Amino acid sequence: MNENEAEKYTGMLEMMGFVPAVDMENADFILFNTCCVRENAELKVFGHLGALKGLKREKPWLLIAVAGCMMQEPHMVEDIKKKHKHVDLVLGTQNIHELPQTIYERLTREKSIINVYDTERYIPEGMPLKREHPYKAWLSIMYGCNNFCSYCIVPHVRGRERSRELSDILDEARYLAEDGVKEITLLGQNVNSYGKTLEEKIDFSELLYALSKVDGIQRIRFMTSHPKDISNSLIMAMSELDKVCKHLHLPLQAGSDKVLKEMNRHYTKQRYLEIVDFARSKIPGLALTTDIMVGFPGETEQDFAETLDVAKRVEYDLAYTFIYSIRKGTPAAEREDQIPEEEKKSRFQRLLEVQDAASLKKNMEYIGKTEFVLNEGKSKTNSDINTGRTDTNKIVNFKSKEDTAGQIIKVRITDAGAWSLEGETV
Protein backbone atom coordinates (compact mmCIF):
# COMPACT_ATOMS: atom_id res chain seq x y z
CA MET A 1 0.00 0.00 0.00
CA ASN A 2 2.90 2.30 0.75
CA GLU A 3 4.36 1.63 -2.67
CA ASN A 4 1.01 2.39 -4.27
CA GLU A 5 0.82 5.67 -2.35
CA ALA A 6 4.39 6.55 -3.33
CA GLU A 7 3.30 6.16 -6.95
CA LYS A 8 0.53 8.68 -6.30
CA TYR A 9 2.94 11.24 -4.81
CA THR A 10 5.27 10.74 -7.78
CA GLY A 11 2.35 11.08 -10.20
CA MET A 12 1.29 14.42 -8.69
CA LEU A 13 4.85 15.75 -8.55
CA GLU A 14 5.40 14.83 -12.19
CA MET A 15 2.23 16.68 -13.21
CA MET A 16 3.52 19.70 -11.33
CA GLY A 17 6.67 19.62 -13.44
CA PHE A 18 9.09 17.96 -11.04
CA VAL A 19 11.65 15.54 -12.44
CA PRO A 20 13.58 12.87 -10.51
CA ALA A 21 16.88 14.01 -8.96
CA VAL A 22 20.01 11.91 -9.30
CA ASP A 23 20.41 11.71 -5.53
CA MET A 24 19.29 13.39 -2.30
CA GLU A 25 22.07 16.01 -2.34
CA ASN A 26 20.86 17.25 -5.72
CA ALA A 27 17.16 17.29 -4.91
CA ASP A 28 15.12 20.44 -4.31
CA PHE A 29 12.23 18.45 -2.90
CA ILE A 30 12.47 15.34 -0.73
CA LEU A 31 9.47 13.39 0.50
CA PHE A 32 9.66 10.56 3.03
CA ASN A 33 6.79 8.13 2.71
CA THR A 34 6.84 6.52 6.15
CA CYS A 35 5.45 3.33 7.69
CA CYS A 36 4.85 2.77 11.41
CA VAL A 37 3.94 -0.93 11.46
CA ARG A 38 7.30 -1.75 13.09
CA GLU A 39 9.72 0.41 15.04
CA ASN A 40 12.75 -0.19 12.82
CA ALA A 41 11.21 1.64 9.89
CA GLU A 42 10.46 4.64 12.12
CA LEU A 43 14.00 4.83 13.45
CA LYS A 44 15.33 4.93 9.90
CA VAL A 45 13.15 7.93 9.05
CA PHE A 46 14.50 9.88 12.01
CA GLY A 47 18.03 8.95 10.96
CA HIS A 48 17.41 10.33 7.47
CA LEU A 49 15.75 13.49 8.77
CA GLY A 50 18.63 14.19 11.15
CA ALA A 51 21.13 13.73 8.33
CA LEU A 52 19.32 16.33 6.20
CA LYS A 53 19.71 19.20 8.69
CA GLY A 54 23.08 20.15 7.19
CA LEU A 55 21.82 20.00 3.60
CA LYS A 56 18.91 22.25 4.47
CA ARG A 57 21.35 24.82 5.91
CA GLU A 58 23.38 24.75 2.69
CA LYS A 59 20.27 24.86 0.49
CA PRO A 60 17.58 26.85 2.29
CA TRP A 61 15.23 26.45 -0.69
CA LEU A 62 15.19 22.65 -0.25
CA LEU A 63 11.71 21.43 0.73
CA ILE A 64 11.45 18.42 3.05
CA ALA A 65 8.14 16.61 3.36
CA VAL A 66 7.12 13.71 5.57
CA ALA A 67 4.03 11.66 4.75
CA GLY A 68 2.65 8.18 5.45
CA CYS A 69 1.07 6.46 8.40
CA MET A 70 3.76 7.45 10.90
CA MET A 71 2.40 10.98 10.68
CA GLN A 72 -0.95 9.75 12.00
CA GLU A 73 0.55 8.75 15.36
CA PRO A 74 -0.57 11.35 17.89
CA HIS A 75 2.88 12.13 19.33
CA MET A 76 4.69 12.14 15.99
CA VAL A 77 3.66 15.53 14.65
CA GLU A 78 4.67 17.11 17.98
CA ASP A 79 8.06 15.35 17.79
CA ILE A 80 8.60 16.71 14.28
CA LYS A 81 7.62 20.23 15.32
CA LYS A 82 9.99 20.18 18.29
CA LYS A 83 12.98 18.17 17.09
CA HIS A 84 12.87 18.52 13.31
CA LYS A 85 12.05 22.14 12.63
CA HIS A 86 13.65 21.82 9.19
CA VAL A 87 10.69 19.71 7.98
CA ASP A 88 8.59 21.92 5.69
CA LEU A 89 5.45 19.91 5.26
CA VAL A 90 3.69 16.98 6.88
CA LEU A 91 0.89 14.99 5.22
CA GLY A 92 -1.40 12.43 6.83
CA THR A 93 -2.77 9.29 5.18
CA GLN A 94 -6.07 11.07 4.36
CA ASN A 95 -4.25 14.02 2.78
CA ILE A 96 -2.28 12.38 0.00
CA HIS A 97 -4.21 14.22 -2.73
CA GLU A 98 -3.49 17.53 -1.00
CA LEU A 99 0.25 17.39 -1.74
CA PRO A 100 0.13 20.05 -4.50
CA GLN A 101 -1.84 22.58 -2.46
CA THR A 102 0.32 21.89 0.61
CA ILE A 103 3.47 22.66 -1.37
CA TYR A 104 1.80 25.82 -2.64
CA GLU A 105 0.85 26.89 0.89
CA ARG A 106 4.37 26.24 2.11
CA LEU A 107 5.88 28.36 -0.67
CA THR A 108 3.47 31.24 -0.23
CA ARG A 109 3.22 31.34 3.55
CA GLU A 110 6.86 30.79 4.48
CA LYS A 111 6.08 28.49 7.40
CA SER A 112 5.85 24.74 7.96
CA ILE A 113 2.49 23.29 6.99
CA ILE A 114 0.96 20.35 8.85
CA ASN A 115 -1.89 18.72 6.95
CA VAL A 116 -3.15 15.73 8.96
CA TYR A 117 -6.82 14.77 9.39
CA ASP A 118 -7.55 12.37 12.19
CA THR A 119 -10.96 11.25 10.96
CA GLU A 120 -11.87 9.43 7.78
CA ARG A 121 -12.99 11.57 4.88
CA TYR A 122 -14.30 10.72 1.43
CA ILE A 123 -12.11 8.53 -0.75
CA PRO A 124 -10.36 10.75 -3.31
CA GLU A 125 -10.56 9.28 -6.83
CA GLY A 126 -8.72 9.90 -10.07
CA MET A 127 -5.36 10.84 -8.60
CA PRO A 128 -2.50 10.86 -11.11
CA LEU A 129 -0.12 7.99 -10.61
CA LYS A 130 3.35 7.18 -11.86
CA ARG A 131 3.70 3.42 -11.95
CA GLU A 132 6.97 1.73 -11.11
CA HIS A 133 6.30 -1.19 -13.46
CA PRO A 134 4.98 -0.88 -17.02
CA TYR A 135 3.10 -4.20 -17.03
CA LYS A 136 1.88 -4.63 -13.48
CA ALA A 137 0.03 -2.34 -11.12
CA TRP A 138 -1.19 -2.02 -7.57
CA LEU A 139 -4.89 -1.29 -7.23
CA SER A 140 -6.17 -0.30 -3.79
CA ILE A 141 -9.74 -1.48 -3.32
CA MET A 142 -10.24 -0.42 0.27
CA TYR A 143 -8.62 1.63 3.00
CA GLY A 144 -8.34 1.35 6.78
CA CYS A 145 -9.00 -1.62 9.02
CA ASN A 146 -11.58 -2.58 11.67
CA ASN A 147 -9.88 -5.62 13.11
CA PHE A 148 -7.75 -4.21 15.90
CA CYS A 149 -5.35 -7.10 16.22
CA SER A 150 -3.86 -6.36 19.63
CA TYR A 151 -0.28 -5.84 18.36
CA CYS A 152 -1.14 -3.72 15.35
CA ILE A 153 -1.11 0.03 14.86
CA VAL A 154 -2.73 0.07 11.42
CA PRO A 155 -6.37 0.61 12.56
CA HIS A 156 -5.15 3.46 14.79
CA VAL A 157 -3.36 5.31 12.00
CA ARG A 158 -5.40 4.40 8.92
CA GLY A 159 -8.86 4.72 10.40
CA ARG A 160 -11.97 2.63 9.86
CA GLU A 161 -12.39 0.31 6.94
CA ARG A 162 -13.99 1.75 3.80
CA SER A 163 -14.32 0.28 0.32
CA ARG A 164 -14.05 1.97 -3.04
CA GLU A 165 -17.08 1.84 -5.32
CA LEU A 166 -17.09 -1.03 -7.80
CA SER A 167 -17.41 1.41 -10.72
CA ASP A 168 -14.30 3.34 -9.61
CA ILE A 169 -12.29 0.12 -9.32
CA LEU A 170 -13.45 -1.07 -12.76
CA ASP A 171 -12.65 2.31 -14.31
CA GLU A 172 -9.14 2.18 -12.90
CA ALA A 173 -8.64 -1.41 -14.11
CA ARG A 174 -9.80 -0.45 -17.62
CA TYR A 175 -7.53 2.57 -17.63
CA LEU A 176 -4.58 0.41 -16.52
CA ALA A 177 -5.32 -2.17 -19.22
CA GLU A 178 -5.33 0.55 -21.88
CA ASP A 179 -2.03 1.75 -20.50
CA GLY A 180 -0.41 -1.66 -21.09
CA VAL A 181 -0.88 -3.27 -17.69
CA LYS A 182 -1.31 -7.06 -17.77
CA GLU A 183 -1.37 -7.83 -14.08
CA ILE A 184 -3.13 -6.07 -11.21
CA THR A 185 -2.70 -6.69 -7.48
CA LEU A 186 -5.72 -5.68 -5.43
CA LEU A 187 -4.79 -4.16 -2.10
CA GLY A 188 -6.59 -3.95 1.22
CA GLN A 189 -5.81 -4.80 4.85
CA ASN A 190 -8.54 -7.42 4.70
CA VAL A 191 -9.85 -7.85 1.17
CA ASN A 192 -12.32 -10.46 2.41
CA SER A 193 -14.47 -7.74 3.90
CA TYR A 194 -14.54 -5.72 0.67
CA GLY A 195 -17.94 -4.14 0.03
CA LYS A 196 -19.23 -4.05 3.60
CA THR A 197 -19.35 -0.26 3.69
CA LEU A 198 -20.97 0.13 0.27
CA GLU A 199 -24.67 0.71 -0.32
CA GLU A 200 -24.72 -1.64 -3.25
CA LYS A 201 -24.25 -5.16 -1.86
CA ILE A 202 -21.17 -6.80 -3.29
CA ASP A 203 -18.52 -9.06 -1.82
CA PHE A 204 -14.92 -9.73 -2.73
CA SER A 205 -15.53 -12.79 -4.87
CA GLU A 206 -18.08 -10.83 -6.93
CA LEU A 207 -15.48 -8.13 -7.41
CA LEU A 208 -13.10 -10.77 -8.80
CA TYR A 209 -15.74 -11.95 -11.28
CA ALA A 210 -16.35 -8.35 -12.39
CA LEU A 211 -12.63 -7.58 -12.79
CA SER A 212 -12.08 -10.80 -14.73
CA LYS A 213 -14.23 -9.33 -17.51
CA VAL A 214 -11.89 -6.39 -18.06
CA ASP A 215 -10.22 -6.92 -21.43
CA GLY A 216 -6.45 -6.71 -21.43
CA ILE A 217 -6.01 -7.55 -17.75
CA GLN A 218 -4.62 -11.06 -17.82
CA ARG A 219 -3.73 -11.67 -14.22
CA ILE A 220 -5.35 -10.67 -10.94
CA ARG A 221 -3.68 -10.99 -7.56
CA PHE A 222 -4.76 -9.73 -4.16
CA MET A 223 -3.63 -9.21 -0.60
CA THR A 224 -4.30 -9.48 2.25
CA SER A 225 -6.85 -12.11 2.97
CA HIS A 226 -7.64 -12.45 6.71
CA PRO A 227 -8.26 -16.11 7.66
CA LYS A 228 -11.20 -15.20 9.89
CA ASP A 229 -13.19 -13.84 6.94
CA ILE A 230 -12.14 -16.09 4.09
CA SER A 231 -15.16 -17.56 2.34
CA ASN A 232 -15.78 -20.67 0.29
CA SER A 233 -16.99 -18.38 -2.48
CA LEU A 234 -13.53 -16.78 -2.66
CA ILE A 235 -11.83 -20.17 -2.98
CA MET A 236 -14.38 -21.16 -5.64
CA ALA A 237 -13.79 -17.90 -7.53
CA MET A 238 -10.05 -18.58 -7.46
CA SER A 239 -10.55 -22.06 -8.83
CA GLU A 240 -13.03 -20.97 -11.51
CA LEU A 241 -11.50 -17.76 -12.79
CA ASP A 242 -8.50 -18.27 -15.05
CA LYS A 243 -7.25 -14.74 -14.58
CA VAL A 244 -7.10 -15.00 -10.79
CA CYS A 245 -3.63 -16.25 -9.91
CA LYS A 246 -3.17 -19.49 -8.02
CA HIS A 247 -1.59 -17.80 -5.06
CA LEU A 248 -3.07 -17.16 -1.65
CA HIS A 249 -1.39 -14.94 0.93
CA LEU A 250 -2.91 -16.07 4.21
CA PRO A 251 -1.26 -14.51 7.27
CA LEU A 252 -0.88 -16.98 10.12
CA GLN A 253 0.81 -14.66 12.67
CA ALA A 254 1.04 -17.46 15.26
CA GLY A 255 0.23 -21.15 15.64
CA SER A 256 -0.82 -21.26 19.30
CA ASP A 257 -4.53 -20.88 20.02
CA LYS A 258 -3.74 -18.98 23.20
CA VAL A 259 -1.57 -16.46 21.36
CA LEU A 260 -4.05 -16.15 18.47
CA LYS A 261 -6.79 -15.35 20.98
CA GLU A 262 -4.66 -12.73 22.70
CA MET A 263 -3.79 -11.28 19.30
CA ASN A 264 -7.54 -10.94 18.64
CA ARG A 265 -7.27 -12.88 15.38
CA HIS A 266 -10.53 -14.87 15.69
CA TYR A 267 -9.34 -18.21 14.32
CA THR A 268 -7.65 -21.28 15.76
CA LYS A 269 -4.74 -23.34 14.48
CA GLN A 270 -7.16 -26.08 13.46
CA ARG A 271 -9.46 -23.71 11.57
CA TYR A 272 -6.44 -22.22 9.78
CA LEU A 273 -5.22 -25.67 8.71
CA GLU A 274 -8.72 -26.56 7.50
CA ILE A 275 -8.76 -23.47 5.26
CA VAL A 276 -5.37 -24.47 3.84
CA ASP A 277 -6.57 -28.02 3.13
CA PHE A 278 -9.79 -26.81 1.53
CA ALA A 279 -8.00 -24.25 -0.66
CA ARG A 280 -5.40 -26.81 -1.76
CA SER A 281 -8.07 -29.36 -2.58
CA LYS A 282 -9.95 -26.90 -4.83
CA ILE A 283 -6.98 -25.16 -6.44
CA PRO A 284 -4.33 -27.61 -7.67
CA GLY A 285 -0.83 -26.14 -7.67
CA LEU A 286 -1.83 -23.34 -5.28
CA ALA A 287 1.08 -21.36 -3.82
CA LEU A 288 0.63 -20.34 -0.19
CA THR A 289 2.46 -17.48 1.47
CA THR A 290 2.06 -15.98 4.91
CA ASP A 291 3.07 -13.47 7.58
CA ILE A 292 4.40 -14.87 10.85
CA MET A 293 5.38 -13.00 13.99
CA VAL A 294 7.53 -14.31 16.84
CA GLY A 295 7.87 -12.98 20.38
CA PHE A 296 4.35 -11.70 20.99
CA PRO A 297 4.04 -10.88 24.74
CA GLY A 298 3.62 -14.03 26.84
CA GLU A 299 4.59 -16.37 23.99
CA THR A 300 6.09 -19.49 25.62
CA GLU A 301 8.44 -22.00 24.07
CA GLN A 302 5.42 -24.30 23.72
CA ASP A 303 3.43 -21.56 21.93
CA PHE A 304 6.31 -20.99 19.56
CA ALA A 305 6.53 -24.75 18.90
CA GLU A 306 2.92 -24.53 17.62
CA THR A 307 3.98 -21.86 15.12
CA LEU A 308 6.85 -24.03 13.92
CA ASP A 309 4.46 -26.95 13.67
CA VAL A 310 2.12 -25.03 11.32
CA ALA A 311 5.06 -23.81 9.22
CA LYS A 312 6.32 -27.41 8.89
CA ARG A 313 2.90 -28.83 8.10
CA VAL A 314 1.83 -26.20 5.57
CA GLU A 315 5.26 -25.78 3.93
CA TYR A 316 4.68 -22.24 2.74
CA ASP A 317 6.15 -21.16 -0.56
CA LEU A 318 7.30 -18.01 1.19
CA ALA A 319 6.79 -16.40 4.59
CA TYR A 320 7.30 -12.80 5.64
CA THR A 321 8.67 -13.25 9.14
CA PHE A 322 8.71 -10.55 11.81
CA ILE A 323 9.96 -10.03 15.33
CA TYR A 324 7.18 -8.54 17.46
CA SER A 325 7.71 -4.81 17.81
CA ILE A 326 6.07 -2.77 20.60
CA ARG A 327 3.68 -0.20 19.11
CA LYS A 328 2.58 2.55 21.48
CA GLY A 329 -1.18 2.81 21.79
CA THR A 330 -1.90 -0.87 21.11
CA PRO A 331 -3.09 -3.24 23.89
CA ALA A 332 -0.14 -5.64 23.50
CA ALA A 333 2.30 -2.80 24.15
CA GLU A 334 0.90 -2.40 27.68
CA ARG A 335 1.66 -5.97 28.68
CA GLU A 336 4.34 -6.63 31.25
CA ASP A 337 5.25 -10.09 29.96
CA GLN A 338 7.27 -8.85 26.97
CA ILE A 339 9.71 -11.42 25.60
CA PRO A 340 13.43 -10.63 26.01
CA GLU A 341 15.16 -9.51 22.79
CA GLU A 342 17.59 -12.47 22.82
CA GLU A 343 14.74 -14.96 23.03
CA LYS A 344 12.83 -13.25 20.20
CA LYS A 345 15.93 -13.37 17.99
CA SER A 346 16.56 -17.03 18.69
CA ARG A 347 12.96 -17.96 17.82
CA PHE A 348 13.18 -15.86 14.69
CA GLN A 349 16.31 -17.74 13.58
CA ARG A 350 14.71 -21.10 14.23
CA LEU A 351 11.64 -20.09 12.24
CA LEU A 352 13.80 -18.90 9.34
CA GLU A 353 15.59 -22.25 9.20
CA VAL A 354 12.32 -24.13 8.89
CA GLN A 355 10.93 -21.68 6.36
CA ASP A 356 14.02 -21.43 4.16
CA ALA A 357 14.07 -25.22 3.83
CA ALA A 358 10.38 -25.21 2.85
CA SER A 359 10.85 -22.40 0.30
CA LEU A 360 13.72 -24.26 -1.32
CA LYS A 361 11.82 -27.54 -1.37
CA LYS A 362 8.75 -25.88 -2.95
CA ASN A 363 10.87 -24.18 -5.59
CA MET A 364 12.79 -27.38 -6.44
CA GLU A 365 9.45 -28.97 -7.36
CA TYR A 366 9.31 -26.57 -10.32
CA ILE A 367 12.47 -27.90 -11.97
CA GLY A 368 11.61 -29.47 -15.34
CA LYS A 369 8.15 -27.90 -15.49
CA THR A 370 7.03 -25.37 -18.07
CA GLU A 371 5.41 -22.28 -16.56
CA PHE A 372 3.57 -19.27 -17.92
CA VAL A 373 5.66 -16.23 -16.98
CA LEU A 374 4.79 -12.56 -17.36
CA ASN A 375 8.04 -11.17 -18.77
CA GLU A 376 8.69 -7.96 -16.85
CA GLY A 377 11.70 -7.10 -19.00
CA LYS A 378 15.43 -6.95 -18.42
CA SER A 379 16.79 -7.72 -14.98
CA LYS A 380 18.09 -4.61 -13.18
CA THR A 381 21.41 -6.28 -12.39
CA ASN A 382 22.09 -8.16 -15.64
CA SER A 383 20.85 -6.94 -19.02
CA ASP A 384 21.35 -10.38 -20.61
CA ILE A 385 18.66 -11.78 -18.38
CA ASN A 386 14.90 -11.23 -18.32
CA THR A 387 12.88 -11.45 -15.17
CA GLY A 388 9.26 -12.29 -14.60
CA ARG A 389 6.83 -14.15 -12.40
CA THR A 390 4.85 -17.34 -12.61
CA ASP A 391 1.13 -17.46 -11.94
CA THR A 392 2.10 -18.60 -8.42
CA ASN A 393 4.20 -15.43 -8.00
CA LYS A 394 7.63 -17.09 -8.19
CA ILE A 395 10.39 -14.91 -9.59
CA VAL A 396 11.94 -16.49 -12.71
CA ASN A 397 15.17 -15.32 -14.34
CA PHE A 398 15.62 -16.48 -17.89
CA LYS A 399 17.41 -15.81 -21.14
CA SER A 400 15.29 -14.82 -24.11
CA LYS A 401 16.46 -14.11 -27.66
CA GLU A 402 13.29 -12.29 -28.66
CA ASP A 403 11.98 -9.21 -26.93
CA THR A 404 8.82 -10.46 -25.25
CA ALA A 405 8.63 -7.89 -22.46
CA GLY A 406 5.03 -7.42 -21.34
CA GLN A 407 3.91 -10.79 -22.67
CA ILE A 408 3.01 -13.96 -20.87
CA ILE A 409 5.34 -16.59 -22.29
CA LYS A 410 6.29 -20.20 -21.65
CA VAL A 411 9.46 -20.78 -19.68
CA ARG A 412 10.93 -24.15 -18.79
CA ILE A 413 12.36 -24.13 -15.27
CA THR A 414 15.93 -25.42 -15.17
CA ASP A 415 17.10 -24.55 -11.65
CA ALA A 416 15.79 -23.26 -8.33
CA GLY A 417 16.98 -21.49 -5.20
CA ALA A 418 15.01 -20.47 -2.09
CA TRP A 419 14.13 -17.04 -3.55
CA SER A 420 13.87 -17.53 -7.30
CA LEU A 421 13.80 -19.92 -10.25
CA GLU A 422 15.90 -20.05 -13.40
CA GLY A 423 14.67 -21.08 -16.79
CA GLU A 424 14.77 -20.86 -20.55
CA THR A 425 12.07 -19.78 -23.00
CA VAL A 426 10.20 -22.51 -24.85
Nearer of residues 89 and 191 to ligand SF4, judged by Cβ: 191
Under DSSP, is residue 277 helix (H, G, I), strand (E, B) or coil?
helix
Q: Find which of ligand SF4, ligand SAH, none residue 148 binds, CB within 5 to 8 Å per kind.
A: ligand SF4
Under DSSP, is residue 188 helix (H, G, I), strand (E, B) or coil?
coil
| Rounded (to 5) percent helix, strand, coil in the chain | 40, 20, 40
User: Among candidates 294, 308, 344, 301, which has minimal Cα distance to 151?
Assistant: 294
What residues make contact with ligand SF4 under the rule CB under 6 A? 145, 147-149, 152, 154-155, 189-190, 226
226 part of the interface to ligand SAH, by CB under 6 A = yes
99 part of the interface to ligand SAH, by CB under 6 A = no
Nearer of residues 64 and 69 to ligand SF4, judged by Cβ: 69
Part in contact with ligand SAH (CB under 6 A); list of ranges 64-72, 86-94, 240-248, 319-327: 319-327
CB of 156 to ligand SF4, least distance (A): 9
Among 38, 243, 335, 350, binds ligand SAH (CB under 6 A): 38
What are the CA-CA distances from residue 346 to residues 39, 170, 268, 292 (Å)?
A: 19, 46, 25, 15
Nearer of residues 152 and 421 to ligand SF4, judged by Cβ: 152
328-332-336 Cα angle (round to 5): 100
> What's the distance, CA 193 to chain centroid?
17
Nearer of residues 190 and 256 to ligand SF4, judged by Cβ: 190
Which residues ranging from 288 to 307 are in contact with ligand SAH (CB under 6 A)? Answer: 291, 293
Among 9, 32, 143, 151, binds ligand SAH (CB under 6 A): 151
What are the CA-CA distances from residue 386 to residues 333, 357, 414, 424 (Å)?
A: 45, 26, 15, 10
CA distance 152 to 36: 10
Among 68, 92, 251, 255, binds ligand SAH (CB under 6 A): 251
Among 163, 189, 205, 387, binds ligand SAH (CB under 6 A): 189
CB of 150 to ligand SF4, least distance (A): 9
CA distance 98 to 92: 10
Part in contact with ligand SAH (CB under 6 A); list of ranges 4-12, 60-68, 322-330, 418-426: 322-330
Instruction: Judge contact between 194 and 141, C-beta under 8 A.
Output: yes
163 part of the interface to ligand SAH, by CB under 6 A = no
271-277-278 Cα angle (round to 5): 90
Nearer of residues 154 and 283 to ligand SF4, judged by Cβ: 154
Among 102, 185, 192, 325, binds ligand SAH (CB under 6 A): 325
DSSP 80: H
56 part of the interface to ligand SAH, by CB under 6 A = no
- Sign of the C-alpha dihedral, residues 322, 327, 331, 333? positive
Nearer of residues 223 and 310 to ligand SF4, judged by Cβ: 223
322 part of the interface to ligand SAH, by CB under 6 A = yes
CA distance 416 to 391: 16
User: Contact residues for ligand SAH (CB under 6 A)?
Assistant: 37-38, 151-152, 154, 189-190, 224, 226, 251, 253, 291, 293, 322, 324-325, 327
